[in-house]
Structures are given as structure tokens and as C-alpha cells.
Copies of this chain bind each other. A is one copy, B any other.
Amino acid sequence: MRENEFSLINRHFKGRGGACHPFTHLAIGDDASLHKLAAGMELVISTDTSVENVHWPDDLPLEVAADRAVCSALSDLAAMGAEAVAVWVNVMASDQDAVKAIAEGVSSALTRYNVELVGGDTCRSATNALAVTVAGQLPEGTAMRRDTAQENDNIWLVGVLGLHALGLQQWMSGNKQGAFVHHINEIAPNLAAGVHLREMGVSCCIDVSDGLLQDATHLATASGIGMDIEVTQVPQWPELCQQLGDSNLVFDAVAFGGEDYALLFTAPVSMNIPADLAVKIGNCRAGSGVNLYRDAVVCHVEKQGFLHFE
């Protein structure tokens, strides 16, 4: 049966995703959604686009691509330390089957993280794509930002780096069963860790979506400081070097590979960070720019991370 976009939205999107949140008073079905913010809370909003053949290869199932698109948007809330409260999705789809597949992926991610789908729209496009807008909340004035790192802060990492890039390389080279491929499907926004960090008093954080070097540079630039990072301290470095047999491959994946959605944050030396939450990978310093070290030797790098209009 052929359906129009209204029946498609009702059937595939309405009421999907996580449970209703008190933030939302009117969800899908009107010209806009309606929301209230609890007293003393601040609203956090981010939006993220994912496009076929740019953010995912066109032979990746659309369900997976859509799930990833939602997770990647939620990761921006994790980086601010916000609790996720609502999501809107713009679906651009080549046909009805694509709408259905994208809806499955969106619902799957939102159900996993218990966030309600409160609005969006669905339209036809020659290129499959999603724009995912996410809202979160946190107590006023407590958001983690990019511009609050201080000289001498330690630099910490929650999560892994490089595994998604290694998986994508295998997938793109035709090795669809490669050992790292499952990391393409399993990206996980560190929402709980983000809230935990914010509650501990961490003030400076970013999610690593475009590679360690590029995202660390965003943070250093915004804060007006420099950074020294020892890449061999990132989780699984020795295991990866052994597994791949070439530490240069690991270095490239860690430094330039994106989409693992680790959280990179800084904290004063005096702050006690639990070892099961994060690993220390470097220090902030006066000056500017990010130096990557490999076994204490500074690395000279040419490229940065993923750029859309290089």
C-alpha cells in the first residue's frame, strides 16, 4: 500500500522512542511541540546532520545509519552534561522503504536511551539524510563548555578512540566481517558519564566526533590554552598496536578518526577522577595549540580530522 507522509509519520514515528518526559506537554501532531522547563533548570539544544555517502557508506543498512545519527546528536548533550529530554527528527528519504528503515533506527536508539520523539518532519529527497535535534536540561549555570579549561588542568578521556575509524576502514575495503566492523553499529553517547562529570564539578568538556586532534584543538582554542597529549595513554593502545601490527595505523585512527563519541574533559589536578570513569591522557599548559606525543616524542602531523569542504 502506498502511503502519504502523514500516515507514514503516524505509523512509523508517533509514540515511538522513550517515555514521555515532564518537559513535553504536546508532542507530534500539531504545528509545533510545547514544553515547560522546571524552575532553576537550563535548556540545552543541539542539532546534527547525517547524510548518506558523507556520514555513512550507502551499503550500510539505513536502520544502522539512523540509529547512529541519533546517538551522535545525543553525544552533544553528553558533552554538556545534560539529561536528554526530547528529540525532533527531520527525515529525508528516497522512498517509503527508506522512511520505514530510518524510523526503525531512530526508534531503536531513542528507546535504548529512553528519550521521547516529540516532533520532526518527513520528506522525499534524492539523498537519504537525517537532521536530529536534541534537547537536554541541567541546573542553571552548570553546563560543561569548551572555553573553561585552565593551564595545568589534567586532560581526561571517557571512552575509546579509533575503533570506529578502524571498523569503517574494514567495511569500506570490503572486509564486512572484520574484527572492528561492529564498532560502526555500536556508537554510544556517554550520557550517564556526562551527567556524572557535571555533577562532580567538571566545567570543560567536548565530545570527540571528528578525531582527537581536531576536537582537542577546538577545546584549546576556545579556552585560550595549549595542550600536551600522550596518545599511548588512550585506552587499548598496546592491544591495538599488537592486533594491527603497525602502531602508525593506530596513531592515525586515534588522532584523526572520528565518531567514537568519547568525552574529552579537563579538570584541576586537585580533582579526584575515579579510574573506572576516565583515563588521564595529558595536561593543559600556557600557550596555544595541541601537541600529540607518542612515547614522550612529539609527533609532527599534517592533517587534522574529518573536514567537509577541504
Contacts and interface: CB of A to CB of B under 8 A. Distances in A.
Interface of A: 2-6, 8, 25-26, 29-37, 39, 42-49, 51, 53-55, 76-77, 79-80, 82, 88, 90-92, 95-96, 99, 118-127, 129, 131, 133-136, 140, 143, 145-147, 206-207, 218, 222, 304, 307-310
B88 A47 contact: yes
Nearest to A47: B88
A171 to B, nearest CB: 20
A43 B51 contact: no
Given A5-B308, A51-B124, A95-B309, A77 B143 contact: no
A157 to B, nearest CB: 16
Copies in the complex: 2
A71 to B, nearest CB: 14
Nearest to A75: B31
Contacts of A96: 309
Nearest to A49: B90
Contacts of A2: 309-310
A236 to B, nearest CB: 25
A222 B29 CA distance: 9
A264 B207 CA distance: 44
3 nearest CB pairs, A to B: A131-B131, A32-B46, A127-B127
Contacts of A42: 25, 34-36
A44 B49 contact: no
9 contacts: A5-B308, A26-B143, A26-B145, A34-B44, A36-B140, A37-B37, A37-B43, A51-B124, A125-B129
Contacts of A36: 37, 42-43, 140
Candidate in A5, A131, A135, A310 with the most chain B CB atoms within 10 angstroms: A131
A222 B31 CA distance: 12
Contact of A133 (B26, B30, B127, B133): B133
Contacts of A145: 26, 30
Nearest to A37: B37
A121 B48 contact: yes
B47 A131 contact: yes
Contacts of A91: 49
Given A123-B55, A309-B3, A31 B43 contact: no
A31 B32 CA distance: 24
Contacts of A45: 32-33, 35, 88, 118-119, 133, 135
